[in-house]
Chains A and B, each alone.
Chain A
């Protein structure tokens, strides 16, 4: 007999027990584990998706911020560049003005210095020239020259116009003091007599006349009384000449000193 009923029943029970055992120890744990793993993987994928989305969003935000920053930076750089350009132009302009002012000041100072040097030179030259002239003339002066001068003096007195004579008379006639005739050297008798005669003839015989020598005159004759002065002397000439030369120099210098100011004003006007 191939079929044993007891064995069939036993195998039925065995099989059902095996089904129960395997369900508990094999299928359920394995399937649960697989489900858990799949769920975990799905969760991780979802998490990764959300994180990626978040990262994408953050990247976009970052890019946007970056773009904004770039734009702002460019704009600010442009502004700063413009400001720097303006500032540089302003500084250059001020420096140029300062240097111009300094240069003109220096030029002026140099010119003034030149002028003062020139001035002192010409002053010195003048003094030297006059000193030489004075020396030369005083060297040349002598009694004979004095005599000739006395002649000329007398001739001049004689040749005076009437109005001038009247003026002289008015000036000297009332004087009680002696008239002092200054000469550089002692005159010879002849000339003293001649001059005394000529003055008496002009002013009247009552006038007291004294003679004195004055080396400063160099050569010539001067009559002095009450502040009135009449005469002719080389010193006088030289004084007049010096005075004139000084006047000319002063006027010339004044023009030269003024000229830079004139130039400057002309520049500004243009």
Chain B
């Protein structure tokens, strides 16, 4: 029984290794990309279209709408990053119904990597939107005294993102594994269903928090710029 799929190593050469996290990540990536290619291969812009296209459109539009509702006025700019976060985490969680599947999000390395991506993406989008000065000045809001706290908050929320997702996914897999040994038949199924729910909820939480951070970075920069322009 492993606490993380990182420990399941299939192949190793010094620093390089091929563990279950990477393998199952590739599997999820394969499913997502091949599925996308297959569905978007014959896209129709008529009123008549395939049910797969409809499903995919529903997903994409819903993500788009969520991003817009949080406060980003141009969601298509952020959907590549934020949508992929959501889909990767959600598909990893949904994969848990397949016996033997190890969700890559059950590894702290994966969640840390995702949190790091968010950590880097937030200032990048903020700078892209309003420039370096505009973004950096947002750390001194409302006063310069808040600068260290803002920096701490930036780091801690990244840590929180990583640990929250890891904890939830890992605990779900753990609970199922433990229950399998105690009550082999009924409870693991119920817990798997529950795990699907928590997995989707976690995917949504990760996605929406990242969106909120980016929105906060871009909008705070905007208000800053607007206030300086008016003054």
Tell me if A's interface is mostly helix, strand, loop or mixed: helix
Give the distance to chain B from A13, nearest Cβ to Cβ, in Å: 9
> Which chain B residues border A29 with CB–CB below 8 Å?
40, 43
For residue B128, CB closer than 8 A to chain A, the reply is no
Q: How far is the CA of A19 from the CA of B56 in the complex (A)?
A: 16
Interface membership of A230, Cβ < 8 A: no
Tally chain A residues at the interface, Cβ within 8 Å: 32
| Complexed CA–CA distance, A29 and B113 (Å) | 28
Binding-face segment, B26-34, B186-194, B211-219: B26-34
Evaluate contact between B29 and A18: CB separation under 8 angstroms: yes
**Residue of A10, A11, A33 with most partner-chain B CB within 10 A:** A11
Given A7-B21, A14-B22, does the pair A2, B4 have CB atoms closer than 8 Å?
A: yes
Contact B109 A7 (CB under 8 A): yes
Check: A34 CB closer than 8 A to any chain B CB. Answer: yes
User: Given A7-B109, A14-B26, A15-B113, are A34 and B61 also a contact pair (CB < 8 Å)?
Assistant: yes
Give 1 or 0 for each of A112-146: 1 = CB within 8 Å of chain B CB: 00000000000000000000000000000000000
Contacts of A17 in B (CB 8 A): 29
| B60 and A11 within 8 A (CB) | no
- Knowing A3-B112, A7-B21, A11-B104, say if A26 contacts B36 (CB, 8 Å): yes
The residue of chain B having its C-beta at the shortest distance from the C-beta of A14 within the complex is B25
C-alpha spacing A27/B64, complex, angstroms: 10
Which residues of B come within 8 Å of A, CB atoms? Answer: 3-4, 6, 15-17, 19, 21-22, 25-26, 29, 32-33, 36-37, 40, 43-47, 53, 56-57, 60-61, 64, 76, 79-81, 83-84, 87-88, 104, 107-110, 112-114, 116-117, 166
Instruction: Identify the A interface with B (CB < 8 A).
Output: 2-12, 14-23, 25-27, 29-31, 33-34, 36-37, 40
A-B interface, 6 closest residue pairs, ranked by CB to CB distance from nearest: A7-B109, A11-B113, A26-B36, A23-B80, A29-B40, A25-B36
